[in-house]
């Protein structure tokens, strides 16, 4: 993905607005003033919302600042999607991917805890990313998440994922989430490998990985 510094700034700014809007404790008149300004910006953005200039899948499988950036509009890792979680996935060694993050109230389920659906979405993304290390990309067939302990907000989390084995067109991938040294959840998924004739537009897995 060619860098888009202005677009990245816009996405980051809107992401901050989303987070701040969740925690508003303002009087109605201030909320009304903020809503008016937000509506004006939305209308301005809509004037130039005529189609993306960047592909949905990055054709060069680029890393940006050492982090995977092949899905710029993903709701989980998309750098250009202000509604994304902002997951930053990087390769560790030759056979594992990791992501360190802290989730705030935008991702809240029960009070003070990360929503289980958000956790599942993160696993779907990071498990799929681990497949890239073996050039085994493809859609998710099944995803199973085991929630062993509550996952807290505003706490450093580490997700790790790796390919367990490849069986013809099936790829079995596993992962877990750590809070410190404690495993709070685990996941496994079966992905279906793309055949040569069913590669999606823009798909080009890497020849070599990155440390």
More confident residue, 132 or 163: 163
Q: Decide if 109 is inside a domain.
A: yes
Domain identity same for 1 and 66 = yes
Query: In the prediction, which pLDDT does 211 show?
Result: 45
pLDDT in tens, 47-75: 999 988 788 876 555 677 788 888 999 99
Domain identity same for 43 and 6 = yes
Q: Which residues of 156-168 are buried (b: 16+ CB within 10 A; e: fewer)?
A: ebebbbbbeebee
Query: In the prediction, which pLDDT does 206 show?
Result: 45
The full DSSP string for 157-190 is EEEEEEEEEEETTEEEEEEEEEETTEEEEEEEEE
Give the residue among 146, 150, 130 at the shortest CA–CA distance from 138.
130
CATH number at residue 167: 3.10.129.10
pLDDT in tens, 92-118: 998 999 999 999 999 999 999 999 999
Where residue 42 falls among pLDDT bands split at 50, 70, 90?
very high
Domain boundary among 34, 59, 84: 84
Indicate the range of 11-20, 42-51, 128-137, 156-165 predicted with least confidence.
128-137
Query: In the prediction, which pLDDT does 138 show?
Result: 86
The total number of structural domains in the chain stands at: 2
Range of the domain at 65: 1-84
**Calpha distance 86→75 (Å, rounded):** 8
């Amino acid at each position: 993905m060619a860098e888009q510094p202005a677009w990245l700034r816009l996405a980051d700014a809107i992401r901050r607005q989303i987070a701040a809007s969740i925690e508003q404790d303002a009087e109605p008149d201030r909320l009304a003033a903020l809503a008016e300004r937000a509506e004006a910006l939305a209308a301005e953005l809509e004037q130039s919302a005529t189609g993306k200039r960047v592909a949905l899948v990055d054709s060069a499988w680029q890393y940006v600042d050492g982090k995977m950036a092949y899905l710029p509009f993903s709701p989980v890792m998309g750098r250009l999607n202000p509604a994304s979680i902002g997951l930053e996935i990087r390769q560790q060694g030759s056979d594992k991917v990791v992501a360190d993050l802290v989730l705030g109230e935008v991702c809240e389920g029960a009070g003070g805890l990360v929503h289980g659906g958000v956790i599942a979405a993160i696993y779907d993304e990071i498990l799929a990313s681990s497949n890239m290390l073996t050039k085994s990309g493809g859609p998710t067939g099944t995803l199973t998440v085991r929630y062993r302990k509550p996952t807290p907000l505003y706490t450093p989390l580490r997700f790790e994922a790796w390919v367990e084995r490849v069986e013809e067109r099936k790829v079995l991938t596993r992962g877990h989430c750590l809070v410190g040294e404690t495993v709070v959840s685990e996941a496994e998924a079966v992905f279906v490998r793309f055949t040569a004739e069913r590669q999606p537009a823009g798909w080009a897995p890497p020849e070599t990985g990155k440390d």
